[in-house]
């Protein structure tokens, strides 16, 4: 009995179907590529092994093999297996140097080395990728995320780079019509650096609301958002204590200045007393008494003027002025 023909779909192996799906993806430099490859990865039973199998076969077209590399690296990054990520990129990345996405791969490797110079390299790689793919939201957002991480670790914030991070995250949000949660988490970190802590908290809340609860990344993202919330609180507390420190430093500086003024005043008073004493010693006794009384009145008025700004009791200062005035005027009235 003759065999009935078997449909083409039933003859395809899982590997052939995967290759077909990878070949059908949009070009790598278009916004739809990353979304499409994520859907492919999510649908595979063993994505790492299946994608590695396609990548290792040089008989497949370059764009198919690159899509397999992207999907494999995506899987490793989601699981935070960064040592394996770097190893895979080192092994296969040189074959796809013409692909703009490779800059983002190198940026991720540099960022995860942890030191400041490597993070700076990650920013430069991301900036180059964003220049080549300005319409791909994920690439533009990566620049914003790595820039803000670099600024968070820096001793001082470069305003031009902070504005660049703001522009990049706003552009990424606009490209995705405000539907990607973790873009708002990046915006929250920028707002926190600017000191707008209320808006930063609101942005984190928006990120949590937008995050899809059905994806395998949900718990990881939620932990990330909670960490950002804590960071915002810590930054606000640090800003508060910094203001307090500045206020205390300013008050201490003012106190030192007042002490110097007081010392200068005391020196002048001592000189005035010494001069008046010498004059009184050589004068007749009625004149000596008037000199001493005038000196006492002058000293009281000087100290009353000095304490006028800081004294809480205006009446006490007025009484001092009255006493000083009496000591200055009475001797001459009595003489008259």
* DSSP labels, 319-335: HHHHHHHHHHHHHHHHH
Does residue 63 sit in the same domain as residue 186? yes
Does residue 286 sit in the same domain as residue 231? no
Which tens digits make up the pLDDT trace of 203-216?
Answer: 999 999 998 888 77
- 265 belongs to a structural domain: yes
How far apart CA 323 and CA 102 sit, in angstroms, is 87
Q: Which residue has the tokens 């001082």?
A: 156
Q: Which tops the pLDDT comparison, 289 or 160?
A: 160
Does residue 161 sit in the same domain as residue 306? no
Which tens digits make up the pLDDT trace of 237-282?
Answer: 988 888 888 888 888 888 788 778 778 877 877 877 777 777 777 7
- 217 belongs to a structural domain: yes
pLDDT of residue 199: 94
Q: Which of 25-29, 276-280, 307-311 has the lowest mean pLDDT?
A: 307-311
Burial of residue 123 (CB within 10 Å: 0-12, 13-18, 19+) is: buried
Does residue 188 sit in the same domain as residue 263? no
Does residue 302 sit in the same domain as residue 230? no
CATH of the domain at 228: 1.25.40.10
- 2 belongs to a structural domain: no
Domain boundary among 176, 201, 236: 236
Does residue 288 sit in the same domain as residue 208? no
- 5 belongs to a structural domain: no
- 242 belongs to a structural domain: no
Supply the Cα-derived Rg of the chain in whole angstroms: 38
pLDDT of residue 302: 77
Does residue 222 sit in the same domain as residue 289? no
Does residue 191 sit in the same domain as residue 269? no
Does residue 228 sit in the same domain as residue 261? no
Q: Give the range of the structural domain holding residue 174, as residue numbers without chain letter.
A: 12-236
Does residue 25 sit in the same domain as residue 149? yes
CB-based contact 51:44 (threshold 8 Å):
yes
Q: How many structural domains are present in the chain?
A: 2
Does residue 221 sit in the same domain as residue 96? yes
Does residue 200 sit in the same domain as residue 272? no
């Amino acid at each position: 009995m003759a065999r009935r023909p078997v449909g083409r779909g039933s003859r395809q192996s899982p590997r052939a179907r995967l290759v077909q799906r990878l070949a059908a993806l949009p070009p790598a430099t278009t916004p739809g590529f990353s979304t499409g490859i994520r859907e492919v990865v999510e649908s595979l039973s063993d994505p790492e092994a299946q994608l590695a199998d396609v990548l290792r076969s040089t008989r497949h077209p370059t764009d198919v093999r690159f899509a397999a590399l992207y999907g494999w690296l995506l899987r490793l990054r989601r699981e935070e297996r960064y040592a394996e990520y770097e190893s895979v990129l080192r092994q296969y990345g040189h074959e796809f140097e013409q692909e703009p996405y490779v800059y983002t791969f190198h940026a991720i490797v540099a960022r995860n080395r942890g030191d400041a110079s490597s993070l700076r390299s990650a920013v430069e790689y991301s900036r180059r990728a964003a220049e080549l793919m300005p319409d791909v939201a994920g690439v533009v957002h990566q620049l914003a995320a790595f820039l803000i991480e670099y600024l968070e670790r820096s001793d001082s914030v470069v305003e031009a780079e902070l504005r660049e991070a703001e522009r990049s995250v706003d552009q990424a949000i606009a490209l995705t019509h405000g539907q990607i949660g973790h873009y708002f988490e990046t915006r929250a970190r920028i707002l926190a650096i600017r000191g707008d802590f209320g808006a930063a908290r609101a942005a984190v809340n928006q990120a949590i609301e937008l995050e899809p609860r059905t994806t395998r990344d949900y718990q990881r993202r939620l932990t990330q958002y909670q960490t950002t919330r804590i960071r915002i609180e810590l930054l606000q507390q640090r800003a508060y204590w910094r203001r307090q420190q500045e206020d205390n430093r300013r008050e201490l500086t003012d106190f030192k200045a007042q002490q110097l003024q007081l010392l200068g005043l005391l020196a002048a008073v001592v000189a005035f007393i010494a001069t008046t004493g010498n004059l009184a010693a050589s004068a007749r006794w009625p004149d000596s008494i008037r000199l001493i009384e005038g000196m006492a009145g002058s000293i009281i008025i000087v100290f009353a003027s000095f304490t006028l700004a800081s004294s809480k009791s205006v009446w006490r200062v007025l009484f001092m002025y009255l006493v000083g005035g009496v000591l200055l005027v009475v001797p001459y009235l009595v003489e008259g």
